[in-house]
């Protein structure tokens, strides 16, 4: 067991319930030993829900679904990130035209990024769920920039149609208020503090 897992008193396997390469990289950055198990969940949740309820409900569903797939005790970590503009939840774009519309609406505007995280013990079913909110301001984008980004294929696996880490989308962002890692997809300080609380 490595030092951070000793520090956090984690003595059972850790499972990341996400296929996101960004979340995988962030957990590796913390130095945690984990494996990935992804379960398909229905993400067609009522978008009239408050954003914090929407993202935490999805993160809970992901963790519980993975717990059903294993027969041993593990600490399951799941997360769901959404982008909200003018009170409307913006999910992943499904077409080039939708991606253009999303990015054009974010241009020269400030939006919110919510990430819900869930910790779940697969045996005891002890659970802790929380969320983080950050504010992201885009500079004004021109059509050529938006189309070039869409042609790269990058928008289609990201909430709001953009990424900020290891991605051309980083040059769209003028300012962030709040946790940078929340915008990437996993608020690390919240995750660390939540695990400490969960393990106590």
Name the residues annotated as catalytic: 80
Q: Measured between alpha carbons, how far is 138 from 167 in angstroms, rounded to an integer?
A: 15
Q: Measured between alpha carbons, how far is 2 from 4 in angstroms, rounded to an integer?
A: 6
Q: Which long-range contacts (CB under 8 A, 24 or more apart) does 196-199 make?
A: 196/8, 197/128, 198/75, 198/119, 198/126, 198/128, 199/8, 199/9, 199/10
> What does the block give as tokens for 19?
């296929």
Question: Is residue 102 classed as helix, strand or coil in its secondary structure?
Answer: helix
Is residue 66 within 8 Å of residue 73, measured between CB atoms?
A: no
């Amino acid at each position: 067991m490595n030092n951070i897992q000793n520090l956090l008193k984690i003595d059972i396997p850790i499972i990341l319930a996400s296929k996101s390469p960004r979340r995988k990289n962030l957990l590796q950055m913390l130095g945690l030993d984990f494996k990935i198990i992804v379960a398909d969940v229905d993400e067609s949740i009522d978008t009239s829900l408050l954003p914090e309820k929407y993202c935490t409900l999805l993160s809970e569903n992901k963790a519980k679904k993975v717990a059903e797939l294993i027969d041993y005790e593990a600490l399951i970590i799941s997360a769901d990130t959404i982008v909200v503009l003018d009170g409307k939840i913006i999910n992943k774009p499904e077409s080039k035209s939708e991606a253009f519309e999303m990015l054009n609406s974010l241009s020269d505007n400030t939006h919110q990024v919510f990430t819900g995280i869930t910790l779940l013990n697969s045996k005891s079913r002890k659970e802790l769920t929380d969320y983080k909110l950050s504010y992201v301001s885009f500079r004004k984008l021109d059509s050529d920039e938006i189309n070039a980004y869409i042609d790269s294929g990058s928008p289609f696996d990201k909430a709001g149609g953009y990424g900020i880490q290891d991605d051309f989308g980083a040059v769209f962002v003028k300012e962030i208020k709040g946790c940078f890692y929340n915008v990437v997809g996993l608020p690390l300080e919240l995750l660390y503090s939540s695990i400490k609380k969960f393990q106590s």
